[in-house]
Amino acid sequence: MEELKQKLSDILKPDKKNRRHLIYLLQAVQQKSGYLSKEAMLAIADFLDIPGSTVYGIATFYNQFRFTPLGKHPVKVCMGTACHLVGGKLVLEAMARELDIEVGGITPDHEFSLDRVACVGCCALAPVVVIGDSVYPKMTPPKVEEALVIIKPVSQEQSEKQ
Ligand code: FES
């Protein structure tokens, strides 16, 4: 715990030692680590001197937080209004089916993780998926498979070389 607190010392600063900063602390830790581990949530609880169950309860209330690490290729399906209106939900379902994981999950080989996100800022291209740093515009369920087929072989080759 002390080691983790040390690692998070740039976030768990004395001026943030107040329960009203809980959401900020959760966001900052997720930003830094890519997700909220059980240990990180307990470190925040200890820092704020509140029960771990309170931190967990609040973190799980908001769908902006994830509780498993990000994959090597984080897949983010935009569920902002523009994307939602033109089939974002179908794209998200197709992505979950294709990767065989649930939203917030990660594939067993740690290659892909899947999240729904709010507007990524390119509504004219809706529905949008972001995989790593690449934006995939005007997505449809069949295009989901195409996008992943392009990434998977490259990713597998790199894994074999390592
Ligand atoms: S709502 Fe999806 S990019 Fe804006």
Dist. CA 7–CA 153, nearest whole Å: 35
Cβ–ligand 1 distance for 8 under 6 Å, the answer no
Ligand 1 pocket test target in 78, 92, 138 with most atoms within 8 Å of CB:
78
Q: Which atom of ligand 1 is nearest to the CA of 78?
A: 2
Say if residue 105 is in the same domain as residue 153. Answer: yes
Is this model's pTM higher than 0.85 or not? no
pLDDT at 87: 95
Task: Provide the domain count of the chain.
Answer: 2
What is the per-residue pLDDT for 151? 79
Asked whether residue 67 is assigned to any structural domain, the reply reads no
Instruction: Examine the domain organization and report whether 56 and 78 are in the same domain.
Output: no
How many whole angstroms separate alpha carbon 23 and alpha carbon 154? 37
pLDDT of residue 111: 93
* pLDDT on residue 158: 61
| Low-confidence residues of the chain: pLDDT under 70 | 153-162
Residue 87 within any structural domain of the chain: yes
User: Of 15, 14, 13, which is closest to residue 29 (Cα–Cα)?
Assistant: 13
